[in-house]
Copies of this chain bind each other. A is one copy, B any other.
Amino acid sequence: MAKFRVNILGCGSATPSARHQPSCQVIDFRDKLFMIDCGEGAQTSFRKMGLKFNRLSHIFISHLHGDHVFGLPGLLSTMGLHQTGGAVTIHVFKEGAKILKQVTDYFCRQSPFEIIYDELTPGERRVIYEDNGITVRTFPLYHRIDCTGFVFEEKPKPRHLIGDMVKFHNIPVARLNDIKNGADFVTENGVVIPNAALTTAPDPQMSYAYCSDTMPNAKIAEDISGVNTVYHEATYDHSLAALARERGHSTSVQAAETARDAGAKQLIIGHFSKRYVEGELLLLDQAKEIFPNTVLANEGLRMDLL
């Protein structure tokens, strides 16, 4: 299976604590790196995890609270010191682009690479990135301020050729790509060999949903329906549901309900309140009752998608 891995660089909320760094994670999709949110200290965690700056070209910012963006100036400056060219694109709401641009225009003005700002629109569902292998799309979240989630989705993969059948029908090499993509084969005698007789199903398309700061909302499960792995904030345990609602956050149980309703295979919970000084096992236990395959995010965690 091609690499599709999430690296957790920070999974605390609001302020750095003894246990956690603020929000930041990096998706490693076949050695291309995509950063999601960039709390203070991200550049240090990035290096600690052995990730390579020159593979990082897109950064996605869910919303404009400091604990999701304050690592950007330092990260971009450091990349400017290490890289000899290229570009990095920051996908962020318009107001954030404006402020960050002023900061980077001043502090990174000698950077040898270009910093591109791609402005996101609140509430929008849109594909904001695409390459040969993957798309990234936005969907709305429901926080105190505008907030967007991101779905990373592999593109459809080629079907697997059945070697014996290819040989038996003496299929020319030039036809194989079309057949991998679903075409039937027509022999010299005009006989149609249906694709299903020549191939087996492709590897599944893997996908990952990042649900940043949000209150629970049934629309989230619809928007991320069928993803393999969900990251969802779980700032509080469920006894603090009223506080969570007041602050525009979710509890562990609510995160698990969303993963369950989306039909996901695994759930990573994070964005923990720093009140859980002994760890977040309470949150894990609560989530597992609803959605058994839940794991706690932690700095340094690397998870391959299921």
Contact = CB atoms under 8 A, between A and B. Distances in A.
A89 interface: no
Contacts of A99: 102-103, 106-107
Interface string A1-34: 0000000000000111010000000000000000
A16 B44 contact: yes
A117 to B, nearest CB: 15
A70 interface: yes
Interface string A266-280: 000000000000000
A279 to B, nearest CB: 19
Given A15-B77, A44-B16, A81-B14, A106 B64 contact: yes
Contacts of A77: 15, 66-67, 70
Contacts of A81: 14-15
Interface string A63-104: 011110111011001100100000000000001000100110
A83 to B, nearest CB: 13
Interface string A38-71: 0011011001000000000000000011110111
A44 B10 CA distance: 14
Contact of A74 (B18, B40, B78, B106): B40
A67 B75 CA distance: 11
A78 B15 contact: yes
A41 B44 CA distance: 9
A90 to B, nearest CB: 15
Determine which residue in A18, A47, A65, A66 has the highest number of CB atoms from chain B within 10 A of its CB, and name it: A66
A64 B16 contact: no
A271 to B, nearest CB: 15
A43 B64 contact: no
Given A15-B43, A95-B106, 13 more contacts: A15-B77, A15-B78, A16-B43, A16-B44, A40-B40, A40-B43, A41-B44, A65-B107, A66-B74, A66-B107, A70-B74, A99-B106, A102-B102
Interface of A: 14-16, 18, 40-41, 43-44, 47, 64-67, 69-71, 73-74, 77-78, 81, 95, 99, 102-103, 106-108
